[in-house]
Structure 1
Amino acid sequence: MPNILLTGFEPFGGESINPSWEAVKQLDRASIEGHNVVSRLIPVAFGTSIDLLKKSIEELNPAIVIAVGQAGGRSAISVERVAINVSDGRIPDNEGRQPVDEPINPNGPVAYWSTLPIKAVVKAIREEGIPAEISQTAGTYVCNHLFYGLMDSLASRRDIRGGFIHIPFIPEQAVRHSGQPSLGLRDIIKAIEIAVRTTLTYEADIEAIGGSIH
């Protein structure tokens, strides 16, 4: 049975949980459209995160890789469009590293596009009553770092599709952050499963509005 690799991050920034891992671990060993889901925990660490992801890809040879990360303050499932070749840490990572304007791959391109059908994924999630959007930036912290490392690794692997999804806080986090939006863990899990199913369904993305003026 072919594999699907899902990754989530450990807690960071003073949080006791990270909803990205809480969600993807619930899908570990699930079967989706004849594919076996394998979920892996990724450290919030520049460099180390990419190394672990590459090892997982080599081990599993998955058909699809979807990395998931927490983006506190966002109000919807954010399907990322592009990863950029820079790490610029607003805060130190969990190993104490805080790079400033460092290229992720000094010999790599400025950016990589997601190879997920991002607009089809957003449409499918919205049709299930869950808020979703195309995001034009994955930031410059470890999420973007991992996203770029993923796509850099897949640049020579046209048989593997990959991308990144940011998710909001879950309610138990939002109660500690006044005014911050949240989304229930059940909806997040459902959205990730929809993203997998949609990617298996669509070889090419749909044509739909997904731009932003911000």
Structure 2
Amino acid sequence: MKKTTGTAAPRVLLAGFEPFENDPVNPAWEIARALDGWACEGAAVQAVQLPCVFGRAIDRLDEALAAGAPPVLVLCIGAAGGRTEISLERAALNVDDARIPDNAGYQPIDIPVVEGGPAAYFSTLPMKAMVRDMRAAGLPAAVSNSAGTFVCNHIFYALMHRIATQPALARTRGGFVHVPYLPEQAASKPGFASMALATQVEAFRVAIRTALTVRDDVRETGGRLH
């Protein structure tokens, strides 16, 4: 990623994971790269691919954050097989507890993402407004209260820790979004839901615009019974 200079537009960083668990494709990265260079509300999207590897994913995020002026918005994206909606994650937990090994064969169990860090961080996105606007556009979306304990939660926590502790990122808003499988993935996984890439890309266009224009989130229900 090239460093921005001069009067470059404010950055919106989309960080999507590479394929994992033997899948040939990851919708997270496909969405990010489809939107690379897209201009919205005076800002420009930059896509970065994250390795699905504990530790290395954070290193790659740090490189992207440092490659220019601090971004105004950072959305990290990961796939969640079985999800039926675009899921905006509310909270990141300070724990790595991997059900399966990552792409480097590492499987941490009950290890903090940041030693001595807070137990959790909340997203700083206007999540409910983003969900509202996606739904109004006919795009399935919801607030989710668990980002899991794999590399997705790992990068979500690392992002929010940096936003909370680095003065340069004081004005950066950030969070994590889980997305459904693509149809070509679901075709080999009977019973799993899917969503077309074009639909997911359009949902992110709506979500990014809302995140850039809404300062105070709407107050409406987004909770669940379980």
Above 0.5 in TM-score?
yes
> What secondary structure is seen at the aligned counterpart in 1 of 2:128?
helix
Alpha carbons 1:68, 1:164 under 8 Å: kept: yes
1:205 aligns with 2:213: no
2:222 is aligned with what amino acid?
Answer: G
Query: C-alpha offsets along residues 26-68 of structure 1, whole Å, 9 cap, x if unaligned?
Result: 1101111110110000000001101110121111311000001
* Corresponding residue for residue 177 of structure 2: 165
> What secondary structure is seen at the aligned counterpart in 1 of 2:114?
coil
User: How far did residue 122 of structure 1 move?
Assistant: 0.5
Alpha carbons 1:54, 1:153 under 8 Å: kept: no
* Corresponding residue for residue 34 of structure 1: 42
* Corresponding residue for residue 2 of structure 1: 10
Query: C-alpha offsets along residues 138-182 of structure 1, whole Å, 9 cap, x if unaligned?
Result: 000000000000000110332100000000001010010001000
CA RMSD of aligned residues (A): 0.7
Normalising by structure 1, we get a TM-score of 0.98
1:120-131 aligned within 5 A: 120-131=129-140
CA distance in 2, matches of 1:50, 1:105: 11
Query: C-alpha offsets along residues 86-136 of structure 1, whole Å, 9 cap, x if unaligned?
Result: 000100000110000000011100000000000001001111111111000
> What secondary structure is seen at the aligned counterpart in 1 of 2:100?
coil
CA distance in 1, matches of 2:38, 2:139: 21
* Corresponding residue for residue 147 of structure 1: 156
Gaps of 5+ in 1: none
1:45 aligns with 2:57: no
CA distance in 1, matches of 2:162, 2:37: 24
* Corresponding residue for residue 207 of structure 2: 195
Runs of 4+ in 1 over 4 A off after TM superposition: none
CA distance in 2, matches of 1:23, 1:83: 22
Normalising by structure 2, we get a TM-score of 0.93
Alpha carbons 1:2, 1:62 under 8 Å: kept: yes
1:110 aligns with 2:122: no
Query: C-alpha offsets along residues 13-38 of structure 1, whole Å, 9 cap, x if unaligned?
Result: 11000011011101101111110110
* Corresponding residue for residue 74 of structure 1: 83
2:196 is aligned with what amino acid?
Answer: G
- Residue-pair matches, total: 214
